[in-house]
Structure formats: structure tokens, C-alpha cells
Amino acid sequence: MSRAPAGAVPRYTSYPTAPHFHAGVDDATYARWLGGLPADAALSLYAHVPFCDTLCWFCGCTTKTTKRYAPVAAYLRALTAEIALVARHAQGRGTVRHLHWGGGSPTILEPADVLALSRSLRTAFAFAPDAEFAVEIDPRGFDGGRLDALAAAGLTRASVGVQDFDRAVQSAINRAQSFEETRAAVEGLRARGVRSLNVDAIYGLPGQTVESLLRTLDGVLALAPDRVALFGYAHVPWMKAHQAMIDAAALPGAEARLDMARAASARIAAAGYVRVGLDHFAIPGDGLARAAVDGRLRRNFQGYVAEEADALIGLGASAIGGLPQGHAQNASATGDYARRIGEGRLATVRGYALRADDLPRRDAIERLMCDLKFDARALRRRHGAAAEPLVAIARGLVAADAEGLLAPEDDGFRVTERGRAHLRGIAARFDAYLGTGVAAARHSLAV
């Protein structure tokens, strides 16, 4: 690497990445995969609630805005039916170790529906007694009734969206959220026994500077979360049309983004947090920090996770599942999704069946994203001769590195602190599909 890997590359929450999914994986394929789960499989469930009451212009999620609750209630009926349908195909196989509700804004749900959705999931699937239950929280309008319902449903981890506390930046992304209402949400969660807290912040937003970002992080750190996720804003208006509402001229350039990432990471680390993977931080002793030290850290469509799961089952419109055989994604439009479920069939419309060559590449990319290491010996142990083309790529990267991004190790390399910001670009060198087919589709900036 004679120059730092830059440009637009995937976030590698899967391999192959979602732009390579195709219609060859359908509801019948997914039904077979579910029926082939091992009886003792460790399961992770993801339930998608694709509704918000306001549209944040920076958002890259699959979501829709509604001021009425009727569309949400109708969607929940379809989601409940899908939960039962997927469980029938799985035929009682597996035990749920982790449950995550994402969005959109799951906290748009009324308290009674929070409890009803939780009951549906726990009726359909077998849960481990110590299963983690995480929910993405929008502090705006997060009231006592919703707090009580989530606590009663067994919430163990809350992921609180902050993004940025600067009022000018908030105006530029159409998300007004004060520190005070965020703190009230955090205090309400802790008062109800939810001790594990994650806070999300973003760099690279319009009008943001290093100084304003650090002020936001000082506010975040004052909340004393267990984990902080520091994401780089992905400006992809060709995929998310509402992002065109953001003034592209006000976005920080590549060098400014790199300065922000480094300054923000240093501020969080100085507060005593351990850096995990590309963009997460955790207090020492947190499960994510322990998993990083022990080599158990994993990466999936929810980002970094500490738990081992044999399968991730995605529920809801646009949700993606990852099973041993490959990836499966539901219809994105809520109407199409509900129609398919109403017809008594799974909502899967696209996906990817893994090929033999994908397995060592997926393994190498995930270990890079999690451990910041390429370990040729471990890759050979797991994949035999299929590892050799990747070992050759790794040697070429080390030989070409002129910027100190990689540190050679016995039969491999380690990504340096200087190279960490370019981790996605380094991982992309092992991606056989990048820039091919329909997924010559553009991605977000690597830093």
C-alpha cells in the first residue's frame, strides 16, 4: 500500500456485502435454511421497526416517517405473523442468546405494543435465561410509559442515539435533541435497572468541526455510558434520497474527517475507554472489551457483538438474516413485506448463498475488522489451501506499505493505530467482489 486506502468501500458488516445480494435467494431458499438449523444453534434475533415520527436527514437506515400510529399498528400485525411463521420453519431449533430491536425508532411503539411484541418473540422462540435484550432508543419523546414497558419486557441494554449536541449541526441534519432530554432518558433507564448503556455519536456531519465534535463527546462522556460508538457519517444520497436535503458543500472533507476521527478517538480513550475494532469503545470489563481481548469479537449487521451466534434471524421489512448457508433479506417496502406475510409465505426477496471461496475471505475480513490482524496460520488451520491466495495478498500489502499502516508479524500483519482509521480500506483488499456487477454500486467514504 503505497498510499492510504481511501475512497468508498463497504463497512463490512457482512461478506459478501448487501449490494451483491440477488433474487436467487427467495422465500423457499430461506425456508430450507431455517429448517436446517442445528437443534442446539445459538440464535440472535433482530426485529426491525421501520418508522420514525420525524425524518433525520443524515439517516442511512430503511425507515419511513409517520405522524399517525395506524401504519405502525398494521405493520406490527404483519411482524407478529412473521415471527410465528419463521418459528414454524425453524421447528423449535436453537436458543436465543441475543435480541435486538432496531429501526427506524423502536421507541415509537406504544407501551402495550412493546409488551405484545416481546411476548410474541418469547412465545415463538426459546430464550436462554441470560439472553441479552437490546433496543435502540430515541430520547426525543421517550416517556415514562415506554420506559416502564421496556423494563417489564426485560430490557438489558439500551443504545441511545445522540449523533451531535451542537444546535447548528442539529439544524443542518434536521434532528433537534437537547442534552437535557438525552440525560433524562439515560437516568430513566438506569432508574429502572437498565445498567448497560451504549451511546452513538457521528463525525463528518455538515458544519461539524473538531472543536464542536469534542464538545459533544464531553457531553456523551458525562453520561458515563458503558460503550460509545463513533461512526463516520455516510453521505449516500444516491441510495437515501432524503440525504440530498443536506448541503454537500457543508460536509467536512476527507482530511477534516480524519482529523475528527483521530481527535474524537483520543478524547474517548483518555476517558478510560478501551478501543474496540474500528469505531467502538467500551469501559474495561464490559463484555465487548473482554471479547476483543479474548479474540471472541464478531461483526454482523448490528455492528460489533460479543456473543457467538450460529445464526442471525432478521424479522421485519428490509431485515437481513445470516445463517450458515448465507444471507437472506426481506422485502424493504412495508406494503410488499406485509402482503407476502399475509399470503402465508416468508418475506425473503433477495440474499446470497455462500460459495466455498467466500468462506476464507469472510473469515479474513471479519478478523481484520475485529482483531485488526491478519493471521495466516489461523486462516490456514481453518481453511487449508484455500487460504493461500489471501496470504499472498497480505504479503503484498505489507511489502507495499509506505505509511506505517501495517506492522509485520510472524506469518501475517497487525494494523497499527495509524492504520486503524483506514481499516475498511485494508479489509477491502481481500474482497473479491468490490467494484463488480451491480455492486460497482457506490459506498460511503472509508474514513
Q: Domain 358-438 falls in which CATH fold?
A: Arc Repressor Mutant, subunit A (1.10.10)
Domain ranges for the chain: 18-353, 358-438
Residue 4 has pLDDT above 50, yes or no: no
Least reliable range by pLDDT among 166-170, 240-244, 402-406, 424-428: 240-244
Give the C-alpha distances (Å, rounded to integers) separating 70 from 73, 142, 166, 395, 419.
Answer: 5, 19, 34, 57, 49
Residue 81 main-chain phi, psi, to 5 deg: -65, -40
Closest by CA position to 93, among listed 321, 311, 344 = 311
Q: What percent of the chain has pLDDT over 70?
A: 96
Residue 132 main-chain phi, psi, to 5 deg: -80, 140
Sequence-distant (≥ 6) Cβ neighbours of residue 210 within 8 angstroms: 256, 259, 260, 263
Sequence-distant (≥ 6) Cβ neighbours of residue 22 within 8 angstroms: 350, 351, 352
Phi-psi region of 44 (alpha: psi -120 to 50; beta: other; left: phi over 0): beta
* Number of helices (H), then strands (E), in the chain: 15, 19
Task: Decide: 268 and 274 in contact? Cβ < 8 Å.
Answer: no
Mean pLDDT for all residues in the chain: 94
Distance separating alpha carbons of residues 283 and 203, to the nearest angstrom: 21
Q: Classify the C-alpha dihedral 369-373-375-381 as positive or negative.
A: negative
Quick one: pLDDT at residue 332?
Answer: 96
pLDDT tens string 32-55: 999 999 999 999 999 999 999 999
pLDDT range class, residue 307, cuts 50, 70, 90: confident
* Pick among 1.10.3720.10, 3.80.30.20, 3.40.309.10, 1.20.120.1630: CATH of 18-353: 3.80.30.20
Residue 424 has pLDDT above 50, yes or no: yes
Task: Decide: 206 and 173 in contact? Cβ < 8 Å.
Answer: yes
Residue 30 has pLDDT above 90, yes or no: yes
DSSP string over 134-201: EEEE--TT--HHHHHHHHHTT--EEEEEEE---HHHHHHHT----HHHHHHHHHHHHHTT--EEEEEE
Residue 197 has pLDDT above 60, yes or no: yes
Domains 18-353 and 358-438 share a fold: no
Residue 8 has pLDDT above 80, yes or no: no
pLDDT range class, residue 60, cuts 50, 70, 90: confident
- The C-alpha cell at 229 is 460508538
* Amino acid at the residue 371: D
Task: Decide: 435 and 20 in contact? Cβ < 8 Å.
Answer: no
Residue 441 has pLDDT above 80, yes or no: no
Residue 338 has pLDDT above 60, yes or no: yes
Quick one: pLDDT at residue 2?
Answer: 39
How many residues does this entry show for the chain? 447
**What H or E segment, with its residue span, contains residue 329?**
strand 326-330
Quick one: pLDDT at residue 444?
Answer: 55
pLDDT tens string 349-402: 999 999 999 999 999 999 999 999 999 999 999 999 999 999 999 999 999 999
Quick one: pLDDT at residue 435?
Answer: 82
**What H or E segment, with its residue span, contains residue 370?**
helix 358-371
pLDDT tens string 70-95: 999 999 999 999 999 999 999 999 99
Residue 236 has pLDDT above 80, yes or no: yes
